[in-house]
Amino acid sequence: MQSKFGANRTAITEFILLGLVETPELWPVVFVVFLFAYLVTVGGNLSILAAILVEPKLHTPMYFFLGNLSVLDVGCITVTVPSMLARLLFHKHTVPYGACLTQLFFFHLLVGVDCFLLTAMAYDRFLAICRPLTYSARMNQTVQKILVAVSWALAFTNALTHTVAIATLNFCGPNVINHFYCDLPQLFQLSCSSTQFNELLLFAVGFIMAGTPLALIITSYAHVAAAVLRIRSAEGRKKTFSTCGSHLTVVVIFYGSGIFNYMRLGSAKLSDKDKGVGVFNTVFNPMLNPIIYSLRNPDVQGALWRVLKGRRSLA
């Protein structure tokens, strides 16, 4: 353990990340699995982005937000997985204190933007289905850009707040993190200082940053459901609501795993279950999103096929 000595305490300058498994014999397996997952996630999300850019049919507000979501998914997995792969490859499990806080900041920044973009997408579906006559005016390109810019600004404020707050804590005892990336619950467990303020801050800001968007999403879809039920034909109801199915699936997965992760701060000891939730948040969510959005969407499937054909013709 590297440390610097102060008058009354020893301050930790690096942490040890145990990773997903502590058995060295399993490290090559974990490396191959997560390298594959990383390549699939980056490839899938960049393919979705390419399809949106090259297909005129997809130049709509919904796909503008989806393209931004794909960029965020690439960022989310890149913040956590490559560093884990490097530690497995070089058998070095230490991470400097500054690098740990940097990872925490960017993780919360990207997840925060993700949260607000999902809200913007729900608002887009509300306008498209419940206010079709004014949809083009209310969701023009300027509004789309403002929604994305505000999402980044709010998420930046949230991430900076938590990073500055965690930087005020003292770390002078154990420096072993039973996880594969740095996050608030794990750092709270290691602090020599009282983390009561930080935990209250996490709940309070979390209520605003996650609870408010979730309430807006639920409200938007309550109006959408009411509008869909007023459609007389079963085929019309199915077609209208099918445009919302993918987004609702992503919202449920995103908020379900997030709530489970951060509502367990009172636990005496964080367990391997938290690693599983971490894998879900940082790997499976970004990997599943391209599949979910393209699985039942013929427009996206057609655009992806044309992108792939274009690559083959250039090869």
pLDDT given at position 234: 79
Higher pLDDT, 172 or 270: 172
Q: Give CA–CA dist 223/229, Å, rounded.
A: 10
Helix, strand or coil for residue 94?
strand
Report angle CA 6, 8, 12 to the nearest 5 degrees. Answer: 50
Which tens digit of pLDDT belongs to each residue from 261-277? 666 555 545 556 677 77
The per-residue pLDDT for 297 is 76
What is the per-residue pLDDT for 285? 87
Residue 280 pLDDT: 82
Instruction: Report, as an integer, the average pLDDT of 131-159.
Output: 95
pLDDT band at 241 (very low <50, low <70, confident <90, very high): confident
305 or 144, greater pLDDT: 144
Tell me how far apart the alpha carbons of residues 91 and 273 are, in angstroms, rounded to a whole number: 24
Mean predicted confidence (pLDDT) in 200-209: 86
d(CA 88, CA 83): 9
Please answer whether residues 287 and 41 qualify as being in contact, where contact means their C-beta atoms are separated by less than 8 angstroms: yes
Structure tokens, 236: 């019309």
pLDDT at residue 56, as a whole number: 85
Provide the sign of the torsion angle of the four alpha carbons 76, 79, 84, 90, taken in this order.
Answer: positive
pLDDT over threshold 50, residue 313: no
**In contact, 248 and 217? CB cutoff 8 Å:** no
The amino acid at residue 144 is: Q
Residue 31 has pLDDT above 90, yes or no: yes
Nearest to 294 by CA among 67, 35, 7: 67
- The tokens for 111 are 């997840």
Give residue-wise pLDDT tens across range 53-73: 888 888 999 999 999 999 999
Which range is most confident: 10-14, 40-44, 246-250? 40-44
Question: Per-residue pLDDT for 36 more than 90?
Answer: yes
How does the average pLDDT of the chain come out, rounded? 85
Distance of CA 162 to the CA centre of its chain: 16
Q: How far, in Å, CA of 272 to CA of 45, rounded?
A: 28
Instruction: Indicate the length of the chain as a whole number.
Output: 315
Tokens of 278: 């971490």
Q: Are 58 and 303 a contacting pair, CB within 8 Å?
A: yes
Structure tokens at 227: 């509008």
